[in-house]
Amino acid sequence: MAKLEILHYPDKRLRTVAEPIAAVDHSIRSLVDDMFETMYAAPGIGLAATQVNVHKRVIVMDLSAEKNEPQCFINPEITKSEGLEQTEEGCLSVPDIFETVERAERVVVKALDKDGKEITLEADGLLAVCIQHEMDHLLGNLFVDYLSPLKQMRVKKKIQKARRQAAII
Ligand code: NI
């Protein structure tokens, strides 16, 4: 296993649209392992392959307090979504920014698991939010895209300022 580098907004590579996976083989399982290691080390609750500059449709997450319930979705598709809810979100690719985003309250997601087996999952609450957030990454979208232009400008300024300070120290 290896920890991978996480791309940070506004890196243009985060805008790449991921390709579907033709076969869940050894290289994909190895990618999934590396993504879990990277996500746990960050630490974060979810990660999309796009964020580690691999443009394939793979997302991983673990919402458990003990970090012992890894969930992986390969070629995820939302087949049903209903309701609306607002949640404060953050993202490993947009450090230290937390903003409220509106998403579907419940989703049904169809995907392949790590063994290439088809799974269907009904999700609500944080799991539903996390699935939608990670699937957005696969399309090159970020949660900050949902903010008003004014708020997006503030986010960009805050990130640039933090980067300048980091460079001075
Ligand atoms: Ni994210």
User: What's residue 20's pLDDT?
Assistant: 98
Ligand 1 centroid distance, CA of 133 (Å): 6
State pLDDT tens for residues 79-103: 999 999 999 999 999 999 999 999 9
Residue numbers in the chain where pLDDT is lower than 50? none
134 noted as active-site residue: yes
Residue 40 has a pLDDT of 97
pLDDT of residue 30: 97
Q: Tokens standing for 65?
A: 């307090």
Look at residue 1 in the predicted model and tell me its pLDDT. 80
Q: Counting Cβ atoms within 10 Å, is residue 28 exposed (0-12), middle (13-18) or buried (19+)? A: buried
Distance 54 CA to ligand 1 centre (A): 14
Q: Which H or E run contains 101?
A: strand 94-112
Query: What is the structure's pLDDT at 143?
Result: 97
How deeply is 38 buried, as exposed, middle or buried, from its count of CB atoms within 10 A (0-12, 13-18, 19+)? buried
The CA 91 to ligand 1 mean position distance, Å, reads 4
Ligand 1 centroid–CA 50 distance in Å is: 9
Q: How far apart are CA 128 and CA 32, in angstroms?
A: 20
Which residues have CB atoms below 5 A from the ion given as ligand 1? 91
Please identify which of the residues 5, 66, 88, 134 carries the catalytic annotation: 134
Q: What is the pLDDT at residue 164?
A: 84
Cβ–Cβ under 8 Å, residues 74 and 88 = no
